[in-house]
Structure 1
Amino acid sequence: MDTLERIELLDGVCRLFPETGFKGKKDLTTLLELELKSLTALDGFFPYGHGWTKAIAPYQIYHVLAANTPIAGFQSLMLGLLLGSFNAIQCPKPIKKPMLQFISSLPQKLRDKVALYEEFNRQAFDQSDCIVVFGQQKTIEHFKNLTPVTKRFIGHGHKVSLIWLGAIEEIDKEKIALAAHDISLYSQLGCLSPQAIVVEGNSAREKIESFCQVLSDCLRENRDQHPASLDIEVLAEIKNRRDCAKALGWPLWGSSLLEPNPWTVILRKTPSFEPTCGYRTIYVDLVEITKLKDWLNPIKGMLSTIGLFNKTPENIVSIFIEAGATRFCPVGLMQQPTAFWHHDGRNRLEEMVRWVDWEQ
């Protein structure tokens, strides 16, 4: 099966699962041309410098998926299939059902290139020449230590995303609704889910509280669009966050925890970033510009996406980049990166392949 045939087979899968970011074969074609410099780089040598070169795909990729969301698994598998590799997938139970649905949607020729395991499969791991791992840092380190230096290892650890609001000049309900969409999607558990909305600390208090109220209203309005089933432990954690906020005197907006798909907006001022518990619990953090760099210190090197409400000053952009941010986008698109997204700031296909050069 050559590259063009694989692209044709994946075209329909892209349309069934738009959340992968790939709209169809045009995106797949463009990605190959951007990262591998030639559509047929995997099929034969092509001119490169003073000679020729060819990309060699892994014979087998071992994917270790995280339990928080299946989307990364969809994307990783699709990239492996695009390269033509066999794909062994270690899939935790919470996302097994959607992963099986994705695999069952594949044409038979591609389905034959996938094996799914609920637990670590040593034989499949040892047979793989590329290891891709999603998870917490300890998970990344565990599998990295298991991987010989002769094999390619790609780790995607936990990342944090934020929304930059800046100074509040007007209450734009349309954009606030887009932010509520980013917060609600995937129960706020993914690396692209906003953990906090950062507001300039010198903004007028009345406008800040009006913003929080409108955000709360928008989260209420979209609660049926992204329903989530919460167990008693999650509800207890949300209640704990609310109780702590009240004890510290932080204003709070939210629904009853007895309602389906509850939401919480907490306005606070802290010296440094602190994570939310997820599940539509969002912090609106007041941060003075002169202290933004210090506020970001706990997550330096862990930043992923910065959602933007408006045009952002260059000095603010520079602070986020210095802290490790790898993507900026308008609010409403945080959870939906383009097909050409540099995952964690790196090319996705190029990391998986090796190159063979032919010199004259």
Structure 2
Amino acid sequence: MIFLYLFLYNNKMNTERIISLQNLIDALQDCKRLNALAAVSGMPSSTFKFSLVRTLDGWKEELKQWSTNQDSPVPRKIAVSAMAVLPSNSFAPLIEVTAAAWLRNLHLIVKPARGSDKFVKRWIEIIRQLLPSFDITETFETSKLDYDRLIVFGSDETVDIFRKRFGREKDLFGFGHRFSIAYVDSDLENAAENAAADIVSWNQLGCLSPQTIFVKSKLVFDFAEVLAEKINKAEQIYPRGEVNIETSYEIQRIRREVAVRDNSKVIASTNSTAWTVLISPDNRLESCPLNRTAWVKPADFIQELNSILSPHIHHVEAIGIWPEDKLNSVLKEESKKLSDTYLLLGKMQSPSLSRMHSGLPPLAFTL
């Protein structure tokens, strides 16, 4: 809440911009616009629509609260500019940085990743139609343009490259490699359905996508079976689509490796790499090829995550919790230090605009 206070009272954001963003969210969910974006997304149409709508839905109630705040903010007097260098694996950063730039009255320059330029171009066309006064442009340059702030999404190596090159002359926000996990305390059926939705959304390629789900030891196999059933059901409606040869090989490799381990099991789609559930008694985190590949591992108490996550603590983006009463109790406990963001499982792909992002203050409040 402290960020919301600073946002509304210190940054003086125009209430009209909040309302305009609310209208934009509704307009983007128009069938014609969704189809236009889906056509250049490289994802199956139903999967793209499902993912985008879930992301936008996470902002609706929050924006409604901001727009009715009694101390309505006034417009910023000086607009600044920002360049966003986008990742190749997810459209979510483009959506978030667009909202943040609009709210802060920034001129936004977008540098697409290789292979995503068609989507970025279509996105900008639609945003310009819906927000004619929004100064948003596309570029493939980084050094020859005049901008005040540089926002970099990508691997840690990518962020380091930009930081070394531009860090002294630009105000740089770097969002490198991050991952998310989940913890299920009870209610396996609903937990599995919600986990499947978070895994299917954006094909598990965002930093908020759960890669490993921890459950009580005696429930690991039961939960994995239900999770596999739910992901398989979702695959029929929201197919993953094709992946490159390298990704397909990695999924097949890890399936073979886990299948021969003691007390482990693989439940997976047949004749394809569409989805995979990996069961292991070893609660240490392991690499995940994503693309609807999920680990299920044991943790009898959420406090066990302290030792499990400690070697990776600087890369934990969020922890999903189920059920809701467990989430509420966790938020009051010391274990909160494990992550800046705790989310209800099933809502991990519907994040708040006011959440901490990669350990940094929310984009909408700091750009």
Q: TM-score, normalised by structure 2?
A: 0.78
- After superposing the two structures, state which structure 1 stretch, 22-31 or 241-250, moved more: 22-31
Change (3 A) 1:214 1:5: closer
Per the alignment, residue 68 of structure 1 pairs with 89
Kindly indicate which of the two structures has a greater share of residues assigned to strand: 1
Partner of 2:126: 105
Between 276-285 and 336-345, the greater mean CA deviation after superposition: 336-345
Asked if structure 1 preserves the Cα contact closer than 8 Å seen for 2:280 and 2:297, the reply is yes
3-state SS of paired residue (2:239) = coil
Q: Among residues 336, 346, 351, which one is paired with 2:366 in the alignment?
A: 351
Q: Distance in 2 between matches of 1:9 and 1:38?
A: 14
Cα distance 1:307–1:31, how it changes in 2: closer, same or farther (>3 A)?
Answer: farther
Q: In structure 2, do the counterparts of structure 1 residues 20 and 132 end up closer, same or farther at CA, with 3 Å as the change threshold?
A: farther
In 2 relative to 1, CA 77–315 (structure 1 residues): closer, same or farther, beyond 3 Å?
Answer: closer
Give the aligned partner of residue 48 of structure 1.
none
Partner-residue secondary structure (3-state), 2:237: coil
Give the AA of the match of 1:251.
K
What's the CA shift for 1:292?
A: 3.2
Give unmatched runs, 5+ long, in structure 2: 1-12, 30-52
Q: Which amino acid aligns with 2:189?
A: K
Match of 1:243 among 232, 256, 259: 256
Inter-CA distance 129–253: structure 2 relative to 1 (3 Å threshold): same
Q: Does 1:225 align with 2:233?
A: no
Matched, 1:155 2:177: no
Superposition pairs of residues 135-174 of structure 1, within 5 angstroms: 135-149=154-168, 151-166=170-185, 172-174=188-190
Query: Within 5 A, what are the aligned runs for 1:13-32?
Result: 13-15=24-26, 16=28, 18=53, 19-21=55-57, 27=63, 30=66
Does residue 12 of the first structure (1) align with residue 23 of the second (2)?
yes
Percent sequence identity over aligned pairs: 21
How far residue 349 of structure 1 moved from its aligned partner, in angstroms, is 2.9
Please report how far the alpha carbon of residue 319 of structure 1 lies from its aligned counterpart in structure 2 after TM superposition.
6.1
Query: What is the Cα deviation at residue 287 of structure 1?
Result: 3.3
Structure 2 counterpart of 1:176:
192
Give runs of ≥4 in structure 1 deviating > 6 Å: 31-34
Give the AA of the match of 2:306.
K
Q: Structure 2 matches for 1:235-274, cutoff 5 A?
A: 235-249=248-262, 250-256=264-270, 258-259=271-272, 262-270=274-282, 272-274=284-286
Q: 1:22 to 1:277 in 2, by over 3 A?
A: closer
- The alignment partner of 2:215 has SS state of strand
| 1:92-125 per-position Cα deviation (integer Å, ceiling 9, x unaligned) | 13333332232111245647612212x343212x
Cα 1:29–1:86 change in 2 (3 A) is farther
1:328-343 aligned at under 5 Å gives the runs 328-343=342-357
TM-score w.r.t. the length of structure 1 is: 0.79
Conserved 8 A contact 1:10-1:24: no
Partner Cα distance (1:348, 1:31) in 2: 18
Quick one: which of 62, 66, 89 aligns to 2:110?
A: 89
Task: Give the superposition deviation at 1:315.
Answer: 7.1
Q: What one-letter code is carried by the residue in structure 1 that aligns with 2:136?
A: V
1:31–1:340 contact (8 Å) kept in structure 2: no
Question: CA offset at residue 298 of structure 1?
Answer: 2.7
Deviations 1:57-112 (A, max 9, x none): 42x11111111111111110222122222111110133333322321112456476
**Unpaired stretches in structure 1, ≥5 consecutive residues:** 44-55, 353-360
Letter in 2 for 1:173: E
Which has a greater percent of helix? Answer: 2
Cross-structure match for 1:298 = 311
Q: Give the Å deviation of 1:227.
A: 2.0
Give the Å deviation of 1:262.
1.8
What is the total number of aligned residue pairs between the two structures? Answer: 323
Supply the distance in 1 between the matched residues of 2:212 and 2:86 (Cα, whole angstroms): 25
The SS at the match of 1:300 is: helix
Work out whether 1:122 is the aligned partner of 2:143.
Answer: yes
Q: How does 1:47-58 map to 2 (within 5 A)?
A: 56-58=78-80
- The amino acid of 1:144's aligned partner reads R
Q: Give per-residue Cα distances to partners, 1:301-328, cap 9 Å, x unaligned.
A: 22122111123385797564333x1221
CA RMSD of aligned residues (A): 3.0
In 2, the alpha carbon distance for the partners of 1:84 and 1:32 equals 20
